[in-house]
């Protein structure tokens, strides 16, 4: 049971060779990257980790399962697609977040927001539209397509007859 003698029939090198190597572990990064205040980047930013932007970034940000933070010294001119977005600095562009968008008291944003949750702190600056409905953009486009168009140049509003919502009722009234 406690025999410390080595068995001469197998050597350590044979035992190691007979066992398969361990499979590499797939680990999703949980760290956050930082674009420092002296950095300026133009282009498309994609990845699988959170990011904090303290410098300047222009273009597009696609971090669909992650968090984007525009820090107090950050200036972003980009469309952003992420899980959550927090604005402490300046942002220009449209934001689409699957979880939430937060603009803090020191944050300033110009553009449209599409997210199920939007938080605007007291003192936050925001100019744009907010859509908190999952299908809100498509519904609003469909409503605009059905709305009567304004009269064209040279045409008066009364010159055109609007289509009736119930043509059968119109036929009975006139006949």
The reported pTM is 0.62
- pLDDT above 60: residue 43: yes
User: Mean pLDDT, the chain, as a whole number?
Assistant: 79
Q: Check residue 160 and give left, alpha or beta (phi > 0: left; psi -120 to 50: alpha).
A: beta
Q: Give Cα separations from 66 to 74, 107, 165 (angstroms).
A: 18, 20, 47
pLDDT at 4: 57
pLDDT at 137: 45
- Segments in the chain forming alpha helices (H): 12-18, 136-146, 167-174
- pLDDT above 70: residue 55: yes
- pLDDT above 70: residue 139: no
Residue 90: pLDDT band by 50, 70, 90 thresholds? Answer: very high
Percentage of the chain surpassing pLDDT 90? 57
Mean pLDDT of 36-40: 95
Query: Which segments of the chain are extended strands (E)?
Result: 32-35, 40-46, 50-53, 56-70, 75-87, 90-92, 95-103, 108-110, 113-114, 118-120, 125-127, 130-131
pLDDT at 133: 84
Percentage of the chain surpassing pLDDT 70? 59
| 8 A C-beta contact, residue 69 and residue 51 | yes
- pLDDT above 80: residue 136: no
Q: Check residue 117 and give left, alpha or beta (phi > 0: left; psi -120 to 50: alpha).
A: beta
pLDDT tens for each residue of 147-175: 555 555 665 555 555 444 554 545 445 55
The pair of three-digit structure tokens given for residue 49, joined into one six-digit string: 């980790």
- pLDDT above 50: residue 27: no
- pLDDT above 90: residue 50: yes
* First vs last C-alpha separation in the chain: 109
């Amino acid at each position: 049971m406690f025999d410390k003698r080595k068995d001469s029939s197998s050597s350590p090198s044979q035992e190691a060779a007979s066992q398969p190597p361990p499979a590499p572990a797939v680990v999703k990064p949980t760290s956050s990257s930082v674009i420092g205040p002296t950095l300026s980047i133009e282009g498309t930013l994609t990845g699988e980790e959170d990011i904090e932007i303290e410098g300047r970034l222009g273009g597009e940000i696609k971090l669909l399962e992650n968090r984007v933070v525009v820090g107090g010294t950050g200036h972003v001119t980009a469309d952003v697609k992420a899980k959550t977005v927090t604005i402490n600095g300046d942002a220009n562009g449209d934001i689409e977040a699957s979880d939430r968008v937060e603009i803090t008291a020191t944050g300033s944003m110009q553009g449209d927001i599409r997210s199920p949750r939007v938080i605007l702190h007291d003192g936050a600056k925001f100019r744009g539209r907010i859509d908190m409905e999952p299908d809100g953009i498509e519904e609003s486009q469909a409503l605009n397509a059905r709305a009567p168009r304004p009269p064209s140049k040279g045409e008066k509003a009364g010159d055109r007859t609007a289509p009736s919502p119930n043509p059968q009722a119109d036929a009975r009234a006139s006949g």
